[in-house]
Structure 1
Amino acid sequence: MNDAHLHMVVNHFPIIGTFFGIGILITGIFFKNNSIKNTAYILFIVAAIFGAFSMGTGEGAEEMVKDFPNIGKAIIKEHEELAEKFALVLYVTGVFALVSLVAAIKKFRLSKIFSFITLVTALIGGIMAINVGTSGGEIRHTEIREDNAVSAPLNENPSAEKEYDKEDK
């Protein structure tokens, strides 16, 4: 298993974990249920850990695919910059989630405030996650790019492409 494969394995959890965590934390706050909130906090902590793994494998994945046709260094650079910012917000959310978890377990007075701070940082992370996920998907999935006219040919054999076009009609 190489870095590109590892990156593909771990990079989805920070995004999905953030969104599930947001939903679970909102539910816990709404129902005033510490067990539900604690579940969200743990999910945010795990998402931050997977974010670190994803960042650790990103550079190796970049080295493997940067010279592939129709990828280009610019799209990878954009994804990398967005991922770095998202990772920072993810780490901050993970720290606040850890503080919130400890505060909830120890029944501190400020645990409710920590819940809202964790939720706000997670919401910021959720917004950023959309852009990171999209930019990462665009690296290999040219069909989701806004300028998807630049896509790899179906086949090196032009007559095979014409046959494919005929079947499509």
Structure 2
Amino acid sequence: MNAAHIHLMINHFPIILPFIAIITRIIAHVIKSDSMRRYALGILIAGAITSFIAMQSGERAEEIVEELPGISETYIHNHEESAEIFSVITYIAGGIACIALWADIKRKSYAQVIIEIAIVLSVVSLFYAQKTGTSGGEIRHEEIR
């Protein structure tokens, strides 16, 4: 198994986890569940971690994919640019989710505000998740270009 395989296995997690976190947060709000709210924050943290892994494996996968016939450097570059923006947003959302989780467990008065900031960032990240996923698919799938 090489870096390209690892990248293809892991890259879907940072794309889908923010969406799952948003849904989980909505459910937590509706049923008024502290544990579900904290679970949503944990999902955002997992999204940031998997984003880091996807970025690291993507750098190594790029070296492999560039050598394949019929692969355009333009598509790789577009994907890399989108992924960099997306990953920064997920890192920030994950970091804020860590702070929010701590604040929520400690029952700090500002916890709810920090939680909502993390969720808003995850909503923003969905735009870049779509761009990153689509541009990644365009590298090998001519039918979606």
TM-superposed deviation, 1:100: 1.0
Measured in 1, the distance between the counterparts of 2:108 and 2:88 equals: 27
Q: What is the alpha-carbon root mean square deviation over aligned residues? A: 1.1
Residue equivalent to 1:126: 126
Residue equivalent to 1:52: 52
**TM alignment of 1:57-68, pairs within 5 A:** 57-68=57-68
Measured in 1, the distance between the counterparts of 2:142 and 2:108 equals: 50
Measured in 2, the distance between the counterparts of 1:22 and 1:130 equals: 15
Measured in 1, the distance between the counterparts of 2:3 and 2:144 equals: 24
1:83-123 deviations in Å (ceiling 9; x for gaps): 00100000000011111111111111111111210111111
**TM alignment of 1:41-120, pairs within 5 A:** 41-120=41-120
- Residue type of the partner of 1:3? A
Measured in 2, the distance between the counterparts of 1:18 and 1:118 equals: 10
Measured in 1, the distance between the counterparts of 2:128 and 2:32 equals: 27
Residue equivalent to 1:22: 22
Measured in 2, the distance between the counterparts of 1:96 and 1:28 equals: 18
Measured in 2, the distance between the counterparts of 1:70 and 1:16 equals: 29
TM-superposed deviation, 1:76: 0.2
Q: Which has the larger share of helix? A: 2
TM-score with structure 2 setting the length: 0.95
Larger Rg: 1
1:49-103 deviations in Å (ceiling 9; x for gaps): 1111111111111111113233210000000010001000000000111111111
TM-superposed deviation, 1:137: 1.1
Q: Highest relative contact order (Cα 8 Å, sep 6+), 1 or 2?
A: 2
- State the percentage of identical aligned residues: 40
Measured in 2, the distance between the counterparts of 1:32 and 1:71 equals: 50
- Residue type of the partner of 2:48? A
- Count of aligned pairs: 145
- Residue type of the partner of 2:13? F
